[in-house]
A and B are shown apart, each in its own frame.
Chain A
Amino acid sequence: DAKTTQPPSMDCAEGRAANLPCNHSTISGNEYVYWYRQIHSQGPQYIIHGLKNNETNEMASLIITEDRKSSTLILPHATLRDTAVYYCIVRVAYGAGNMLTFGGGTRLMVKP
């Protein structure tokens, strides 16, 4: 699976959009971009994933650049409960048992 690079930490004001970047310059054509987050003392939670097109669900939006070498997770209106470590993961969707390789992630702090 391709390696990802994320900033170790970010701050965001409550109610504002949180934009979390991820670089995955060695991503292969069959690899998806996944985002998970881990709120303190809980297990990781799936947020969203995508291949080429931008994706949106009830939690977040995922913007993938045209060359697929980077992506941005957007939390449109961050709340205090969004304070967590956010992991960007790239992996082949099928095969390899859906394995996830977690990096260091970005620690997002949402402040009042």
Chain B
Amino acid sequence: DAGVIQSPRHEVTEMGQEVTLRCKPISGHDYLFWYRQTMMRGLELLIYFNNNVPIDDSGMPEDRFSAKMPNASFSTLKIQPSEPRDSAVYFCASSVGREQFFGPGTRLTVL
């Protein structure tokens, strides 16, 4: 099993641009999570899905952030427009039971 796959691994963009982060969960997992990690705030849960349906998006910082899960094998996290304070590492994780499996993360830098 390839594990959770995230792309791109690194993204550098300019303020105001749209950024799309992608995640492929482990096959058969029915939960998908998006986290953000910064030095100041640590690891924060942004949103999670169950069976492709968003369950809790209370961690999404503002309307510039949106997430979708069109099918069981793909999810996106979009930031539009991006701002320098969005610079962070974004992790996707999936689970089917008590253990969450994390992807390698996408390091986003907004200039």
Interface residues in chain A, defined as those with a beta carbon under 8 Å from any beta carbon in chain B: 32, 34, 38, 41-46, 49, 87, 93, 97-105
Q: What sequence of 0s and 1s flags, for each residue 40-84 of chain B, a beta carbon within 8 Å of any chain A beta carbon? A: 001111001010000110000000000000000000000000000
User: Could you tell me the dominant secondary structure of chain B's interface residues?
Assistant: strand
Task: Please indicate the chain A residues that have their CB under 8 angstroms from the CB of B98 in the complex.
Answer: 32, 34, 49, 93, 98
Partner of A46, one of B42, B45, B99: B99
For A43, give the chain B residue with the smallest CB separation.
B102
Task: Please indicate the chain A residues that have their CB under 8 angstroms from the CB of B56 in the complex.
Answer: 97, 99
Q: For the complex, is B103 an interface residue (Cβ under 8 Å from A)?
A: yes
Query: A102 to B48, Cβ gap below 8 A?
Result: no
Q: List 25 A-B contacts (CB under 8 A).
A: A32-B98, A38-B43, A41-B105, A42-B102, A42-B104, A43-B4, A43-B91, A43-B104, A43-B105, A44-B102, A45-B102, A46-B101, A93-B98, A97-B31, A97-B33, A97-B56, A98-B31, A98-B95, A98-B97, A98-B98, A98-B100, A99-B33, A99-B56, A102-B44, A105-B42
For A87, give the chain B residue with the smallest CB separation.
B43
Task: Please indicate the chain A residues that have their CB under 8 angstroms from the CB of B42 in the complex.
Answer: 102-105
How far, in whole Å, are A43 and B25 apart by their CA atoms in the complex? Answer: 14
How far, in whole Å, are A69 and B55 apart by their CA atoms in the complex? Answer: 30
How far, in whole Å, are A101 and B102 apart by their CA atoms in the complex? Answer: 14
For B97, give the chain A residue with the smallest CB separation.
A98
How far, in whole Å, are A97 and B47 apart by their CA atoms in the complex? Answer: 11
Q: For the complex, is B108 an interface residue (Cβ under 8 Å from A)?
A: no
Closest 5 CB pairs of A and B: A43-B102, A102-B43, A46-B99, A44-B102, A43-B91
Query: A100 to B91, Cβ gap below 8 A?
Result: no
Task: Please indicate the chain B residues that have their CB under 8 angstroms from the CB of A87 in the complex.
Answer: 43
For B101, give the chain A residue with the smallest CB separation.
A46
Minimal beta-carbon separation of B3 from chain A (angstroms) = 9
For B104, give the chain A residue with the smallest CB separation.
A43
